[in-house]
Chains A and B, each alone.
Chain A
Amino acid sequence: MKDLVIIGGGPAGMSAALAAYEQGIRDILILERDSSLGGILQQCIHNGFGLHKFGEELTGPEYAWRYEEKVRALNIPCKLNTMVLDISDQKVITATNREDGIFQIQARAIILAMGCRERPRGALNIAGARPAGIFSAGCAQKLINVEGYLPGKNVVILGSGDIGLIMARRMMLEGAKVHAVCELMPYSGGLARNIQQCLHDFDIPLKLSHTVVEIHGRERLEGVTIAQVGKDRRPIAGTEEYIPCDTLLLSVGLIPENELSKSAGIALDPITGGAVVDQDRQTSCKGIFACGNVLHVHDLVDYVSDEAELAGKSAAAYLQGASAPACSIPLKTGNLVRYTVPQVITEKKSVTVYFRVADVRRKVQVQVWSNDRLLYSKKKASVAPGEMEALTLSAALLEDASELTICIKEDQA
C-alpha cells in the first residue's frame, strides 16, 4: 500500500510529487518508463523554458534539473525503467521492470502524468510508398539531441507546430538543408517567436495552406509533392510542386497518452483526448488525478508545472480527508470554444478555467453564460487555437450557477 503513486516522472510528475510532499504527504512513489527523470524535456535542448516559473530562460534539461534536484534532495522514491501496464478502478497499479519483474501496488491516490505522444503518419493518409526517411519531428529530435544521429540532409517539414519549427532550426544548425515547412492551415500553430528565430533567421520558407500530397521513393525517400489547399483544406489541382528531399518530418499534433486511464475506467473528453476533470484535476474516478500533457496538450511547460502543483495539492487534500464534492456544475463549450479544462466544477471557490478556441479571430469578447444570464465578459484583441486562454471565475460568480457555457462573441464590425 502506497499513499500516492505518480505515473510519469516528467515535468508534470515531478511538480505534482513536490507539491504533495509540501502538503505533508511522505509515502510517495514516482514510476518512470525512461532511464532518467525529466520526460520530453531531456530532448528539448533549446531554450525558452522557465520564464514564467523561474524568471529566466532555461533549456529543457536545465528546467527538468531544477525539479529533479528537489526530488532527489527530498528523497522522494522513484522507480526508473519501469513501465506501468495497468491501473484498475480500485487503484491497483500493475507495473514491470528488470529488477522487480511484474509487480502490483495498491495506491490510496494516483496522479496521472504520462504526457502525450505525436500523431503518426498513419493518421494523415498521405499517398505513396513507405520508404525510410519519414520521421515524426520528436523522433528526429531524439535522434539528433540524445542519440547523436542526423536523420537526413535535405528536409521538408509538414506541420508548423513548435516542435516542427524548432527542428527546422536544429537541422539547419547541424548542416542539413530544410527546403520548406508546409502548414495545412492558413496560420501557423507555433509561437510567433519560433517563426522568427527558427524559420526567418535561416531563410526557410513557411508555406501556409499547403500540404504533402505524395511521397516518392521506394527504399529511401526521394522527394515529396506538395500542393496548396483551399478553404476546405483539400489540395487544389494544378498547384502541385515537387521537392526533392531525403527526409520528411511530421509535426502534426500531439495526443495525450491515456491507455492507462481507459483501463481504470476514467471518463475521457473526446476533444482533449484526456480525462474529464474537476477544478482540482480529479478525474471521474475518486482519488485519481491528472495533470500535464496527459490531460490536455499545453503550450508551455511552465503551465504544466502550475497544473501539476494543483493536482499534487489536491491529491494531498484527498488523502488528508477532504470533504465530498459540494455541487456539480458542468462547463459547456459555446461558439468557437473547442474545449475547457476543467470540464466540471464541484466546489464554489475561485476557479481558473483554461480553454482553446477553434479558429483565429480578432477583437472578440470571451463570455461565460449561466443559462440565459451573462456572468462574465472580457475583451480580447485576438484569440488563436495555438494559444491556450484562461479566465478566472470568482466564488461569488459561481454562487447560483447550475450550468456554465463559455463562448467567444465575435465583433460585428
Chain B
Amino acid sequence: MNRELTCIICPLGCKINVQLEEGEVLAVSGNTCPRGKTYAITECTAPMRTLTTSVRCQNGRLLSVKTDRPIPKEKQLEAMEIINHLHPALPIAVGDVIMKDVFGADVIATKNIN
C-alpha cells in the first residue's frame, strides 16, 4: 500500500510517498531532508503534533503556551481539556514549565508576563 503525505516539519511542505505493508514502513521517497523521513515514518505509525494554546493566568491575562515536544495527534483535544484548567501564578518567563508530563510533554510558557 502507498500513502501520500505532506510533510509538516518545515514550510517547504514536501510531498512524501510512503510504501506500507501491514503497518510497517518499507520505503520513503519525496522527502528533501532526513527529518522528512523521520516524520513520514512517525506519521504512518504513531502521528505526533506539537500543541500550542493559551491559559488564563491568575491576574486574568492570557499566557501563550506550548508542549515542549510533540504529543500523540489523537490526544490533542484531551490535552486541551487538561491545559484549560491551568491558572498559573505570575511572574512567568518564556520557557517556564507550567505543567509537567501532559501525554509525555511538558507545557511551557512562550511569553513573559510580569
- The CA of A47 and the CA of B13, in the complex, are separated in Å by 15
Q: Mark A192-209, 1 if CB is under 8 A from B, else 0.
A: 110111000100000000
Known: A145-B64, A173-B76. A51 touches B10 (CB 8 A): yes
B1 within 8 A of A: no
A-B pairs with beta carbons under 8 A, tally: 72
Residues of B within 8 Å of A201, CB to CB, are 49, 73, 76
Chain A, range 17-56, C-beta contacts under 8 Å to B: 42, 45-48, 51
Chain B, range 8-41, C-beta contacts under 8 Å to A: 8-11, 13, 15
A45 touches B94 (CB 8 A): no
A147 touches B62 (CB 8 A): yes
Known: A59-B66, A65-B112. A193 touches B56 (CB 8 A): no
A358 within 8 A of B: no
Residues of A within 8 Å of B15, CB to CB, are 192
A193 touches B13 (CB 8 A): yes
A105 within 8 A of B: no
A51 touches B11 (CB 8 A): yes
For chain A, the count of residues having a C-beta within 8 Å of the partner chain is 30
Q: Tell me the smallest distance from the CB of B3 to a CB of chain A, in Å.
A: 12
Q: Tell me the smallest distance from the CB of B34 to a CB of chain A, in Å.
A: 14
A62 touches B73 (CB 8 A): no
- The CA of A61 and the CA of B77, in the complex, are separated in Å by 23
Known: A148-B54, A148-B56. A191 touches B11 (CB 8 A): yes
B50 within 8 A of A: yes
B77 touches A195 (CB 8 A): no
Chain A, range 282-340, C-beta contacts under 8 Å to B: 299-300
B7 within 8 A of A: yes
- The CA of A299 and the CA of B10, in the complex, are separated in Å by 13
Judged by DSSP, the binding face of A is helix
A397 within 8 A of B: no
Q: Tell me the smallest distance from the CB of B39 to a CB of chain A, in Å.
A: 10
For chain B, the count of residues having a C-beta within 8 Å of the partner chain is 27
B6 touches A148 (CB 8 A): no
Known: A61-B110, A62-B94. A45 touches B11 (CB 8 A): no
Residues of A within 8 Å of B99, CB to CB, are none
Residues of B within 8 Å of A299, CB to CB, are 11
- The CA of A175 and the CA of B80, in the complex, are separated in Å by 9
Known: A45-B64, A47-B66, A59-B110. A65 touches B49 (CB 8 A): no
Judged by DSSP, the binding face of B is mixed
Q: Mark B40-58, 1 if CB is under 8 A from A, else 0.
A: 0000000001111110100
B11 touches A47 (CB 8 A): no
Known: A51-B11, A193-B8, A201-B49. A173 touches B110 (CB 8 A): no
- The CA of A62 and the CA of B66, in the complex, are separated in Å by 11
Chain A, range 133-166, C-beta contacts under 8 Å to B: 144-148
B100 within 8 A of A: no
A65 touches B94 (CB 8 A): yes
Q: Tell me the smallest distance from the CB of A373 to a CB of chain B, in Å.
A: 33
A222 within 8 A of B: no
Known: A45-B52, A59-B52, A173-B80. A196 touches B6 (CB 8 A): yes
Q: Mark B62-87, 1 if CB is under 8 A from A, else 0.
A: 10101000000100110010000000
A89 within 8 A of B: no
B53 touches A45 (CB 8 A): yes
Q: Tell me the smallest distance from the CB of B58 to a CB of chain A, in Å.
A: 13
- The CA of A248 and the CA of B26, in the complex, are separated in Å by 44
Q: Tell me the smallest distance from the CB of B10 to a CB of chain A, in Å.
A: 5
B52 touches A47 (CB 8 A): yes
Please indicate which of the listed interface residues B13, B52, B53 has the most CB atoms of chain A within 10 Å of its own CB: B52
User: Which 6 A-B pairs give the minimum distances between C-beta atoms?
Assistant: A192-B13, A45-B64, A193-B8, A61-B111, A196-B6, A59-B110
A-B contact pairs, 30 of them (CB 8 A): A45-B52, A45-B53, A45-B54, A45-B110, A46-B52, A51-B10, A51-B11, A58-B110, A59-B64, A59-B66, A59-B110, A61-B94, A61-B111, A62-B94, A62-B111, A65-B112, A146-B62, A148-B54, A173-B51, A173-B53, A173-B80, A174-B53, A191-B11, A193-B7, A193-B8, A193-B9, A193-B10, A193-B13, A196-B6, A300-B11
Residues of B within 8 A of A (CB): 5-11, 13, 15, 49-54, 56, 62, 64, 66, 73, 76-77, 80, 94, 110-112
14 further contact pairs, Cβ within 8 A, besides A45-B66, A65-B112, A197-B8 = A45-B52, A45-B110, A48-B11, A59-B66, A61-B94, A61-B111, A144-B54, A145-B64, A147-B62, A173-B76, A174-B80, A175-B80, A193-B8, A196-B6
